[in-house]
Structure 1
Amino acid sequence: MNRSRGTVRERIVAAARRLRSGSGASGVTTVVLAVALVCTVFGAGALGRADEMSDGNVWLWSSLTGEISRVNGHSGQVDLVSRLPESAGDRVRVTQNDQYLILHDLDTGRMTAIDLNRMGFSGRVDLGGNGDFTLALGEDTAVVIDRRTGEVQPVDPATLQSTGERVRMPAPLVGGAFDDEGALWLGVPSQGTVAGVAASEGEVEVARTVAVADPGDDLAVSALDRGSLTVNRSDDELTAVTGTGDPVVVPSPIPLDDATVPDRTTGDLLAVTSPEAGRILTLSGIEGGEPELGSITVDLGDAGTAVPYEGRVYLPFAKEGLVRVYAPDGVEEQVVTVPDAEGDLEVEVREGHLFVNAPDSRSAVVVDPSGRARVIDKYAPPPGPGGDPAEPGSITDPLPAAEPPASDPGPDAPAPPAEGDGEDGGLPLPGLPSAGPGTPPRPEPEESEEPEEPETGEAPGAPTPVSHEAGDGSVTLSWSAAYSPDAPVQRYVVTWDGGRTTVGGDELGTTITGLANGTAYRFRVTATNRYGTGPAAQSAEVTPSRGAPAAPDWVSAEAGGDGTATVTWAPVDGAVDYLVSTQADPAADVADRTSTGTSVEVTGLRPGSTYTFSVVARGEGGVSGEAASSAPLTLPETELGAPAEVSFQVSGGTIAVTWSAVEGAAQYRVSPGGDGAISLETATVSGTSHSYQRTSGRCFSFTVHAVGSDGTAAATGTTSPASCVLDFG
């Protein structure tokens, strides 16, 4: 970890600990609360309530504490909390449905999956912090979208491992969210189109393409309940695609040069924010075929993107820590204040409510369909061991400003003791008698002139992911080292139905024997340091068996751009999937990957480091054969950049493409786009120009990537402006 980043993170987390525990809280209180949270979340208590994961619950991120809190939208109460300590202080994008929770750390590029059905950390993938990645989550499918390169990869929402072949679309892409009918909507500006991508049974395909603009126009896309809305910033038009009919085009009365829309819009009212014009456009009646355009004039200043909800428009002002609420006719109806808000405000409609989260503070707000706003204290202890249910946030009458709970003592007040048997509330501490009838009072400690500040620290994170290889009556498990900056991991505990084992804190795997062939098992792994036990990471279901596939042949690895490598191998008879493990020199934490095909892209690698990749074929139930390894692969020391400029000219039947040179590039890869690309092929050339002969099509664009001396192409390319040729005669 970068030292400066680690130092900042340590200060942030230390400050957050004081906020949660109260400046006057004792070390005992802090430890008891930590135990209570662990017991309540992703432990025995949570497992017993797995079937209560019902509609109305939404997870909200708290950056300072590195915690994710489950909030009931109806009561405004936190009922579950879990920790992702390695992301404390970072920007984390939360994507969720009733089955899965995906946490995307935008600063490190790491995605972490939580299986809400079983309440365990279940998957991890490292995408790097330099791309433009997003994850779209449907009912039971997930898709990782690299908007910069145009790659759309289906993944298992529980493990984040690829489930099928990726689709490559002309880059860059915009948008990326599912509608209620299961279509994933993406804008393709270089083609002037929006694409409806179908995702099912682990595969993705482009099911529908609709022309909504000229190729090369600047677009923004929002997925609707059915279809999509495209904002054409170049031509000042709004285009709605619904059902299977023709798109509905609505000219904008104002410039849309810098207009924004949310990635997902819920309900019949649509909103487009245009900061330069100082206006918010509203659009309704799309489904009925009679679009009605409205306008709200407002001093946008540093406002964010407006979000429509239940016939009103909610406009966040992060610096002021508030959200202004407007009727479609422009009348300001309400101001929702987020107490003590700092940093960004995230506004999202989920589970029939609108949530306003301030990730850098303890507060959030939930708004119900009537407009009532309720303050959420994300730091309030959840119900269960260590604390009674927090008082619900106060409810306001419809449309006035939200108010904080009356019982909230503020961030600097000491935390009140919870009811319980322990001295400071919560769980009684081992070795200490419980207070009660007949128990003599404990002597008060003598006052010290200089009382020592109690030592505080955090339990480890989850050791995600947990990989498995099944054998004859046995399963071999491996996991990543748990994040534990405050103290070394002392032990890892592995549990399963009918068993439990413990290994040392410096061990990252174990083999479980004496299992029944043909019986399915799922394993959970927790890490413990001197401050407590962290949340559980879980394996996929695995079934021991005698039969095992052979080792793969022809395992090889090729370096890609931006810290990636592509590993390939020959197919193995009887293999259901393949487990790919990475060994690094110097050592590095690279998560295992799985693939149902014969290749996988491994991300999160370091330039200049040497890697060896091992591939194991797995049959039904995860039964595994012998591993086969690639030759060592050393990644290039430096990453190639992208050309500063790409342009082209059409003269008669010749298309001349030119670009600026990139330092360190040996060659360049030129990829045609537009309808004219049908008859043109990708070319790899030396120099800074290339010519094509035009045979068909009239619209063109070209993307150029630099290529190193080892044949590795840069992850980032530059695309020329698109233009169309007018033919006369």
Structure 2
Amino acid sequence: MNDGNSSTPFLARPTKNRGWRKKGPFALFALVCSATLIVTFVAATNPLSASPFALSGHWVYNSVLRGVFHIDGPTGNIDAQAAVDGEPGSQVVQGDLSGYVVGLHKITEFGKDDLAARQGITPPVDEVPVGVEGVGGPYLVYRNAGLVVRLGNPSRVVPIGGAVGDPVLTSDGTMWLHRTGVGSICTLPKDADRPSGCPVQAPENHAGALTVVGDRLAFVDFFSRTVSTVDGDHLGQGTPLGVPLSPNSRAAAQDVAGRVAILDLERHTLSLADTASPPAPPVTIGLSGGDYDGPVSTGSAVVLVDRQTGNVLTYGPDGAPKDTKPIRDKAGKPRLTRGEDNRVYVEDADGTQVVVVAKDGGMKDVPVAGKPTGPSAPPAPVVDTKTGEPGRQGGEASRQGGESDRPRGGDTSRPPPPPPPIPATAPGAPTGVAATAGDGSAVVTWGAAADNRAAVTSYQVSWQGGSMTVSGGARRVNVNGLTNGTRYVFTVTATNKMGAGPGASAAATPFAVATAPTVNAVNQGNGAVRVTWTAPDMKGGTLQHYQVSATGQADQNLTGNSTTYNGLAAGRTYTFTVRAITKSGDGQTLIGTPGSASVNIPAPPAKRITISEGQATTSGNCRAPNCARVDANGVGFTPGPHDIRLSSSSNTNVQTETVDVRADGSWSYSELDYDVPGQTVWITVDGVQSNKITWKSP
């Protein structure tokens, strides 16, 4: 696999040339017997060069006939076909010279010039990718795994770094990918073997999708209900879409005549929002309940598939219905592909039918079939089980109930014919489906579905906004790139050669614990500390309260953003921790990431008083500058009022006054006078004596 600094080619397996080529003109028709299509192939007369079909028309893999067919878009004719041994349900993507039959477990290349299978390629993960045809491609995008495969010689695996949404390719060959959940929009330039970076940042944890409006990349934000064009390395100012949207929405990758087409799977609406300035009023089309695929734009019309009715639906930019065509085989998931010719090709699950949607929304129904190679093999001769001799083909001995089949006389030794075998049917529903939510993700598990006499070949896990197909032996998938706080219903269905069976579902709401708040703690003095914090990112959860704790103190549960702790001991360091307690969408209580701050409350200093000669004064005993006030300062005392006593060498209590000690234990006092020259004075507070000073003699 790729380590992010280099690219690693796929492992290739050479395969035998199985192209159906023989001399003679094309002849394509279907033989229908007893409502069963029985078809075999004959190939093209001459090899078809790559250039007439390079990035035009559409290739489809027919799982019943086990081959690829090229459909000419303008005419709807099948003009090329080749035998390729692919997996049922494979898709086909084409480059300039080669096509690729892409299945869950193998990818087979075939030449567009000689229609011959060339090599087998091992997929990087067990996931059905999104195929992208265009300049620099073709590409396979494994959305859940966050991998892009550039098919070619050699093929390259390019890691993006995490789950991505549907890719968008602009006309210069740049692929754009939205990292769902984290919001980064990354670029893969044409012919590059690694991303050039993720220069644009969309809002984190906002459900949304990329689209192209007039060949300018834009981001549709389903939360803020805006569309923003990418301007260099940032998103421009969002333009309101003017329609209500749920997070379970999808946007077409191409505008519809300047409008963004958005399918809301919860509201069952298709909205066409104008992006002009000023915008025209949006158009909203109400859809019947059910499951839909799409939307895909031709540039002038939008295409949906109603899986409940099996109808392909097209609408114009004004919301008017354009055309309707049925998909005959409703089993399985249809595939919608926008071709380089601006047509949309809708395949049924087995590739036996393709509906070609023109740019104006009109449709053509194309049955995918080939020509029988010749008569069926003759039936085996009928043998008389009594005599062991051959009977006449089609004669009495071969008929049910003929003489050779009847017991003769009392002969009952011959056993009755066995009952006809019970035909295989589509699988049953998977058992024990469960979904466990995580941070922007969910783990979906299930038990085996009843195969109903045909082995289960794959399981499909679908949810609002996406799906994954995994092998028949899988029993769990990790679904990434989900939006926290949004409830998802995950439906698992099993598929065998007879089709898809009924689904079984489980729901989960992805969540993440809240991020750490920024905490600030300030010593207020006198054993008090004030703690404040900022609101963190709740990650889609609903705030219940903040849990605030401090060293050696009882926890507090608060809904505000501040509190004060009192009575804290001096000489200790206290750590204050704040967590946001949230509740997820499914009612689970989540304890957020803690944020903290520490404060040291210093021990009070020893009580100390210092006096000095202060401002000069004049009295009846002396005149300035020979007499002055006494400036006194103290530390380490208990806050509040205290007596301050002035003493001298001739009087132990010259004067007593009151001083207010500050919260930090300090005080200052400059109101004491002493005017007897030659005397020594000092101050006493709470029994603590200051230094002594001697008054000057005149």
Q: Normalising TM by the smaller chain, what interval?
A: 0.3 to 0.5
- Higher RCO (CA-CA < 8 Å; seq separation 6+): 1
Q: Which structure: greater strand fraction? A: 2
